[in-house]
């Protein structure tokens, strides 16, 4: 289970029905592991990159009071932007539970179904000061063929309508501005 921009650690989290529980928050003084709970103090996007590099699969993503309203986070974790990154690193379906007001009309390359909210979320809610009632969705990523090509020292990969660049020499190229737009 991954809880980005989470609440503080509590011993009761050891009873959650997961092999590993990852709490990520700037409120932690340092990263540490306590039993099966891993408390990290890392940017949410950097942590997703680490999941990708280590082939860590998220089965449940819990989003409550994630900083998009009160200013503790620069990106709403229940947005298409963040969830699109999660979809991009997942090979299998995962569940998302969040307390935002939206209806779950995500624009993601995935099949999205409404699901029941599990009882264990009550434990997390009691420590998180949620905004509204929790909603649940099962997100099943669609598979798209990735196409790659080389532009000088830059390796470019295209998946669906997104673009990823892998720099072989670690340099960031400057692209000239197009004339007339």
pLDDT tens over the chain, length 181 residues: 999 989 999 999 999 999 999 999 988 999 999 999 999 998 888 899 899 889 899 999 999 877 665 545 678 888 888 898 898 888 899 999 998 766 667 888 889 999 999 999 999 999 988 888 889 999 998 876 777 888 888 887 776 555 444 444 343 433 344 444 4
Instruction: Verify that 124 and 152 share a domain, yes or no.
Output: no
Question: 110-158, pLDDT tens digit by residue?
Answer: 899 999 999 999 999 999 888 888 899 999 988 767 778 888 888 877 7
Instruction: Verify that 22 and 110 share a domain, yes or no.
Output: yes
Instruction: Verify that 13 and 38 share a domain, yes or no.
Output: yes
Instruction: Verify that 163 and 99 share a domain, yes or no.
Output: no
Instruction: Verify that 93 and 171 share a domain, yes or no.
Output: no
Q: Specify the number of domains making up the chain.
A: 2
Contact 130, 89 (CB under 8 A): no
Measured in whole angstroms, how far is the alpha carbon of residue 169 from the centre of its chain?
Answer: 28
Instruction: Verify that 155 and 167 share a domain, yes or no.
Output: yes
The residue segments making up the domain with residue 170 are 144-181
Instruction: Verify that 19 and 99 share a domain, yes or no.
Output: yes
Instruction: Verify that 137 and 153 share a domain, yes or no.
Output: no
* Positive/negative CA dihedral, 56, 80, 96, 68: positive
Cα angle 80, 45, 120 (rounded to 5 degrees) comes to 75
> In the chain, where do the E strands start and end?
2-3, 21-24, 32-34, 37-40, 60-63, 94-98, 110-115, 135-141, 147-151, 154-159, 162-167
Instruction: Verify that 71 and 128 share a domain, yes or no.
Output: yes
Instruction: Verify that 148 and 67 share a domain, yes or no.
Output: no
How many residues would you count in the chain? 181
Instruction: Verify that 87 and 28 share a domain, yes or no.
Output: yes
């Amino acid at each position: 289970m991954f809880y980005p921009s989470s609440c503080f650690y509590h011993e009761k989290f050891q009873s959650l029905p997961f092999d590993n529980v990852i709490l990520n928050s700037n409120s932690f003084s340092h990263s540490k592991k306590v039993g099966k709970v891993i408390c990290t103090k890392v940017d949410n996007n950097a942590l997703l990159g680490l999941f990708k590099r280590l082939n860590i699969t998220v089965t449940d993503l819990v989003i409550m009071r994630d900083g998009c309203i009160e200013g503790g986070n620069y990106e709403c974790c229940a947005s298409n932007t963040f969830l699109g990154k999660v979809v991009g690193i997942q090979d299998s379906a995962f569940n998302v539970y969040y307390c935002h007001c939206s209806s779950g009309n995500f624009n993601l390359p995935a099949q999205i179904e409404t699901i029941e909210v599990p009882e264990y979320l009550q434990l997390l809610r009691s420590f998180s000061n949620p905004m509204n009632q929790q909603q649940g969705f099962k997100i099943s990523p669609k598979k798209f063929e990735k196409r790659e090509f080389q532009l000088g020292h830059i390796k470019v990969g295209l998946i669906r309508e997104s673009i990823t660049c892998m720099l072989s020499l670690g340099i960031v190229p400057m692209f000239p501005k197009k004339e007339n737009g």
